[in-house]
């Protein structure tokens, strides 16, 4: 993603009640934060946040946590949440590499990855959010019945991800190379900003769901 630095975005994040900018050590505290024991769904690399904000407003009995590395990108989602004040939505500004210090064992019910950065060079493969290294992290924080849902229009990244699911010892419960033309799977699909942009350019959208 091309990043436009927004002056002051960091300060806004540090002061906002819905954002955690120093989340290390929060593992095990999410039911306290939300004040209930509802399931916790997270989106890693949420960008401007339309997907997670839409889900949070549709599903008040699910708690949502959006994770994004950059304040300037997160800003849009935070401004929207300042208007909506959804009680079941929070954000974390962090690099997801440290996700196991932020969520405890089996504290998460679902992980969404949407149009994740491809990191095309082989030597950067372990930075991809669908690498076996990331699946090992997800294995720690995700309930045994939980799942990882991944969408992208990037075919090489998708093919890599399918292989990594197997390498990590997980299974595919869904795998489509054209989500928008799959009558059943597309039902209830919430589009992300990137999904809207790339599908309008004619790119097919791939989706997988990984379980253990
Ligand atoms: N998910 C959004 C969508 O589909 O419209 C945004 C997609 S954008 C290509 C990928 C986003 O993931 C960027 O905003 C980037 O900053 C964020 N990101 C990439 N790696 C990350 C990481 N390790 N931890 C947190 N966020 C990350």
193 Cβ closer than 6 Å to some ligand 1 atom: yes
Ligand 1 pocket check for 135: Cβ under 6 Å: no
Q: What is the mean pLDDT of residues 46-57?
A: 98
Say if 2 falls within a structural domain.
no
Task: Report yes or no on 180 lying in a domain.
Answer: yes
171 found inside a domain: yes
The answer to whether the CB of 128 is under 6 A from ligand 1 is: no
DSSP code, position 191: P
Q: What is the mean pLDDT of residues 146-168?
A: 98
Residue range 101-126, pLDDT digits in tens: 999 999 999 999 999 999 999 999 99
Whole-number Å distance, alpha carbon 129 to ligand 1 midpoint, is 9
Residue 111, token pair as written in the block: 């992980």
Residues of the domain holding 18: 9-211
Residue 169 lies in a domain: yes
In a domain, 4, yes or no: no
Residue 1 lies in a domain: no
Short-list 88, 87, 100, 91, CA closest to 9: 91
Over residues 153-171, the mean pLDDT reads 98
Whether 112 is in the pocket of ligand 1, judged by its Cβ within 6 Å, is no
Residue 3 lies in a domain: no
CATH code of the domain containing 109: 3.40.50.150
Q: Report the C-alpha gap between 173 and 26 in whole angstroms.
A: 31
Task: List the structure tokens of 207.
Answer: 């989706």
Asked about 117 being catalytic, the answer comes back as: yes
Measured in angstroms, how far is the CA atom of residue 149 from the centroid of ligand 1? 15
Which of 117, 122, 159, 178 is labelled catalytic?
Answer: 117
**Exposed, middle or buried: residue 171 (CB in 10 Å: 0-12, 13-18, 19+)?**
exposed
Q: How far is the CA of 204 from the centre of ligand 1 (A)?
A: 20
Q: Could you tell me which residues are beta bridge partners of residue 19?
A: 91
> With 70 as the cut, is the pLDDT of residue 1 above it?
no
Specify the pLDDT at position 12.
86
Residues 6+ apart with CB under 8 A from 76: 48, 49
Given ligand 1 and candidates 45, 152, 205, which is best to mutate, with the most ligand atoms within 8 Å of its CB?
Answer: 45
Q: How far is the CA of 28 from the centre of ligand 1 (A)?
A: 24
Look at strands 142-152 and 206-211 and give their pairing. antiparallel
Residue 184 lies in a domain: yes
Q: Name the residue of 117, 119, 198 to mutate for ligand 1: max ligand atoms within 8 A of Cβ.
A: 117
| Coil, helix or strand at residue 143 | strand
Count Cα atoms within 13 angstroms, Cβ side, for 112.
24
Domain count, the chain: 1
pLDDT for position 10: 87
For residues 140-153, average pLDDT: 98
Assess contact for 136 and 101: CB atoms under 8 A: no
């Amino acid at each position: 993603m091309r990043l436009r630095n927004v002056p002051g975005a960091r300060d806004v994040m540090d002061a906002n009640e819905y954002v955690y900018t120093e989340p290390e050590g929060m593992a095990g505290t999410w039911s306290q934060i939300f004040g209930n024991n509802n399931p916790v769904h997270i989106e890693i690399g949420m960008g401007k946040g339309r997907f997670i904000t839409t889900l949070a407003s549709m599903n008040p009995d699910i708690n949502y946590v959006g994770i994004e590395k950059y304040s300037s990108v997160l800003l849009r989602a935070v401004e929207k949440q300042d208007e909506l004040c959804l009680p079941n939505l929070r954000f974390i500004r962090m690099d997801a590499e440290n996700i196991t210090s932020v969520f405890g064992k089996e504290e998460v019910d679902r992980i969404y990855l949407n149009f994740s950065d491809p990191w095309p060079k082989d030597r950067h493969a372990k930075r991809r959010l669908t690498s076996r290294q990331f699946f090992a992290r997800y294995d720690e924080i995700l309930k045994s019945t939980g799942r990882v849902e991944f969408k992208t229009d990037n075919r090489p990244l998708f093919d890599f991800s399918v292989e990594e699911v197997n390498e990590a010892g997980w299974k595919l419960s869904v795998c489509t190379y054209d989500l928008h033309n799959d009558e059943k799977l597309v039902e209830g699909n919430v589009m992300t900003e990137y999904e809207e942009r790339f599908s309008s350019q004619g790119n097919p959208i791939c989706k997988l769901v990984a379980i253990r």
